[in-house]
Chains A and B, each alone.
Chain A
Amino acid sequence: MLESLCAQMFGRSLWVYHANSGGCNGCDIEVLNVLTPYYDVERFGIKLVGSPRHADAMLCQGPALRATADALRRAYDAMPAPKLVFAIGSCACGGGMWYDSYAVLGPVGKVIPVNFYVPGCPPRPEAIIYGVAVAVGLVDKKAAPVRFKQAEFPIPLYHPDRLHGEGELVIYESPKGV
């Protein structure tokens, strides 16, 4: 059991390249925080490399900007397959607060295919480690969509067109069968 766990944990070292395509630096600092002695991810074989050609995974921060989308695309193409792309932070996941402004094209998913989303503004270092752990298969994801329904149809519908009358006396004529 320990052997299989070790194979799972240390089978391959994940080298990551950290690409900022126009973020505010908040997520960069959290990613670098992950590599500090406090959250030392080098014990799991995760290492920061300086070139996308050496990398297995790309950590994208910041939205895809009009100016940087091409560079981001080229960095992605330079990575040898198989490759993983992590969108880290709200900007990379969904475009962030300025998702509809002129300079912002949108989330990085519009430019390159994203494999894993780590939301947060910025995400905690733990959340980034958790995202990598989800990607490697060590843990299962916790996020699930929530759907809440207060009323079930059919319920009587109301429309102002069915109001008749004038002045003091206004009658609501309900449709037939309701």
Chain B
Amino acid sequence: MLNKIKEAIVCLRPGRVTLPYPAQAEPVPENFRGVPRWDGEKCIGCAGCANNCSARAILVLDPCQELRILQYIGSRCTYCGRCAEVCPEKAIVMSNEFEMATAEASDLQQRLDIFMSTCQRCGRCFKGAAVLEGLKMSGYRSDEVGSGRWVYRSRALLEGDAVVDDIPIELD
């Protein structure tokens, strides 16, 4: 009996602990990583975020020399924050948003159409930092933006047969 009373007192001590969430939102903790948000004005289209994305949730498609499409597929993003870390222009910030529940997975997508000013000599402007990354990722990228598939190949030229087919890895 005494034990039960003791237990009741222990339970009463903390008082009400239920957070008033739906009525009043608690502020998110510091350093919380929510949805990454792209700043299209700052982005230079280096595709470093795509090369370092662990879930490969960022696709890069070069439909022509002057345009690069960066598409972020939010559905399989793990919010690791690696993209924001490697972005040289700090164009990606991990926002505080987490209430992203939706009935359509396409609501989570972000798409950037970036204008790429081109070098008239070499054609492209950017090279990967690491040797392996450079081999794999330099040149034109052709991920399938529609189906969300990452293509493990890049091309030296846009049309016709590729002059340098950098690394012909066909995984699927």
Contact = CB atoms under 8 A, between A and B. Distances in A.
A94 B109 CA distance: 12
A129 to B, nearest CB: 6
Interface string B103-122: 11111111111110010110
Contact of B120 (A107, A120, A153, A172): A172
A138 B22 CA distance: 10
Which of B103, B110, B150 gathers most chain A CB within 10 Å?
B103
B108 to A, nearest CB: 6
A158 B26 contact: no
B49 to A, nearest CB: 14
A37 B26 CA distance: 16
A90 B55 contact: yes
B22 A133 contact: yes
Contacts of A40: 18
A127 B172 contact: no
B157 interface: yes
Given A127-B101, A172-B120, A97 B54 contact: yes
Nearest to B18: A40
B52 interface: no
Contacts, number: 169
A145 B107 contact: yes
A153 B65 CA distance: 12
Interface residues of B, number: 59
A109 B76 CA distance: 12
A144 B107 contact: yes
Nearest to A155: B66
B73 interface: yes
Given A90-B55, A97-B76, A146-B38, A117 B112 contact: no
A148 B109 CA distance: 11
B5 interface: no
21 contacts: A40-B18, A43-B18, A93-B105, A94-B57, A100-B56, A100-B171, A107-B75, A107-B76, A115-B103, A116-B101, A117-B108, A120-B100, A123-B98, A126-B21, A134-B101, A135-B101, A145-B108, A147-B113, A151-B67, A151-B113, A157-B65
Interface of B: 17-19, 21-22, 25-26, 28, 37-38, 40-41, 43, 54-57, 64-67, 73-80, 97-115, 118, 120-121, 123, 148, 150, 157-159, 171-172
Interface of A: 37-40, 43, 90-91, 93-97, 99-100, 107, 109, 115-121, 123-131, 133-135, 138-139, 141-151, 153, 155-160, 170, 172
